[in-house]
């Protein structure tokens, strides 16, 4: 499918979601490369969709700079959602500020406190949410459908970017001068918290830059999009 057709398909699904769910639709955006493309499409062709992002408190400076550039470039509202202060304090005071390096369980705890719980709060009262997931990102994501039921959060989930490839994303960013995270220019592919993200080298899997200290058997998948789990169990992983 040509890129122009993918753009049309994405825009059509965004508009369909907006028409069906109105202000009970939200796009929680991690501000990755596909995220900024989808923000561009929303601002130009499907305005009115609420866009939010999570500030875990551990983000790279480059991500904060991107938030500011997006606001300026589009004149858009970018809602920033924070973790619960008491929950973060209790976790850090009991287990240390860098607990995630010590075990997978502690990493999942940190992701739950800093990402999953605030996202769940932000999704309260919503009917549907939009993701930037793509079929080419992993074997687990190869079967993504445009519209799915999300058993973790009990919402309808829209995946308007599902057919885009990495090359499509960057062709669109260059052609339309979309603001993007400067860390991508330093070989960062999947960008999350500063302490849990590194650049990758040639030939490495894109997700090798996340939680690289963990055993290879540990799946570096986003806990927010684990569909086989029931509500409350999908805590852990990358976050949005
Ligand atoms: S990515 Fe790292 S710092 Fe960020 S919430 Fe998860 S474990 Fe915590």
The CATH number of residue 46's host domain is 3.40.50.620
pTM: 0.89
The per-residue pLDDT for 239 is 34
Q: Does residue 229 fall inside a structural domain?
A: no
pLDDT band at 210 (very low <50, low <70, confident <90, very high): confident
Its sign, for the CA torsion 95, 99, 103, 107, is positive
pLDDT confidence band for 174 (50 / 70 / 90): very high
User: Which of 11-20, 91-100, 112-121, 227-236 is least confident?
Assistant: 227-236
Mean per-residue pLDDT over the chain, rounded:
90
CA atoms within 13 A on the CB side of 121: 13
222 tagged catalytic = yes
User: What's the gap between Cα 96 and its chain centre?
Assistant: 26
Residue 191 pLDDT exceeds 50: yes
In a domain, 141, yes or no: yes
Determine the distance separating the centroid of ligand 1 and the alpha carbon of 231, expressed in angstroms.
Answer: 20
Rounded to 5°, angle at Cα 153 from 85 and 237 = 65
Domain contains 7: yes
pLDDT at 203: 80
Coil, helix or strand for 122? Answer: helix
Domain total of the chain: 1
Instruction: Give the model's pLDDT for residue 227.
Output: 47
pLDDT(222) > 50? no
Using CA atoms in the order 154, 79, 132, 47, what is the torsion angle rounded to 10 degrees?
100
Q: Per the domain annotation, does 213 fall within a domain?
A: no
* 196 within ligand 1 shell (Cβ under 6 A): yes
Question: How confident is the model at residue 190, as a pLDDT?
Answer: 87
Residue 94 lies in a domain: yes
pLDDT value for 139 = 83
Is 206 part of any domain? no
Atom of ligand 1 nearest to the CA of 110: 8
Q: How confident is the model at residue 221 (pLDDT cuts 50, 70, 90)?
A: low
191 CB near ligand 1 (under 6 Å): no
Task: Provide the pLDDT confidence category of residue 217 given band limits of 50, 70 and 90.
Answer: low
Token code pair at residue 198: 């590194």
Please report, rounded to a whole number, the percentage of residues in the chain having pLDDT higher than 90. Answer: 77
Q: Please, which contacts does 192-195 make with residues 24 or more away whose CB atoms are closer than 8 Å?
A: 192/30, 192/56, 192/238, 192/239, 193/56, 193/58, 193/59, 193/60, 193/114, 194/58, 194/59, 194/60, 194/61, 195/58, 195/98, 195/100
Least confident of 32-46, 82-96, 107-121, 187-201: 187-201
pLDDT per position as a tens digit, 114-144: 999 999 999 999 999 999 999 988 888 889 9
**Quick check: CB of 56 below 6 Å from ligand 1?**
yes
Contact 155, 126 (CB under 8 A): yes
Residue 150 CB neighbour total at 10 angstroms: 19
Q: Are 239 and 54 in contact (CB under 8 A)?
A: yes
Is pLDDT larger for residue 30 or for residue 200? 30
Percent of the chain that is helix, strand, coil (3-state, to 5):
50, 10, 40
pLDDT at 218 over 70: no
Total residue length of the chain: 240
Q: Which of 122, 117, 119 is nearest to 86 (CA)?
A: 117
| Residues in Cβ contact with 150 at an 8 Å cutoff, skipping those fewer than 6 apart | 129, 156, 157, 227
Domain around 59: 3-179
Task: Give the pLDDT confidence score for residue 235 in this predicted structure.
Answer: 33
């Amino acid at each position: 499918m040509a890129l122009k057709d993918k753009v049309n398909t994405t825009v059509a699904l965004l508009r369909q979601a907006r028409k069906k769910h109105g202000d009970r639709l939200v796009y929680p955006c991690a501000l990755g490369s596909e995220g900024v493309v989808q923000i561009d499409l929303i601002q130009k062709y499907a305005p009115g969709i609420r866009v939010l992002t999570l500030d875990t408190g551990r983000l790279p400076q480059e991500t904060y700079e991107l938030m500011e550039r997006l606001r300026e470039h589009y004149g858009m509202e970018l809602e920033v959602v924070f973790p619960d202060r008491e929950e973060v304090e209790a976790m850090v005071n009991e287990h240390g500020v860098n607990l995630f390096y010590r075990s997978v369980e502690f990493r999942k705890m940190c992701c739950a406190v800093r990402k999953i719980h605030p996202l769940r709060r932000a999704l309260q009262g919503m009917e549907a949410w939009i993701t930037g997931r793509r079929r080419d990102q992993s074997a687990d994501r190869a079967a993504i459908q445009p519209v799915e039921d999300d058993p973790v959060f009990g919402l309808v989930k829209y995946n308007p970017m599902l057919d885009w490839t990495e090359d499509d994303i960057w062709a669109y960013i260059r052609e339309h001068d979309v603001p993007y995270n400067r860390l991508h220019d330093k070989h960062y592919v999947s960008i999350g918290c500063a302490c849990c993200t590194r650049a990758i080298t040639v030939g490495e899997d894109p997700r090798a830059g996340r939680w690289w200290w963990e055993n290879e058997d540990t799946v570096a998948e986003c806990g927010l999009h684990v569909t086989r789990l029931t509500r409350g169990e999908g805590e852990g992983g990358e976050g949005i």
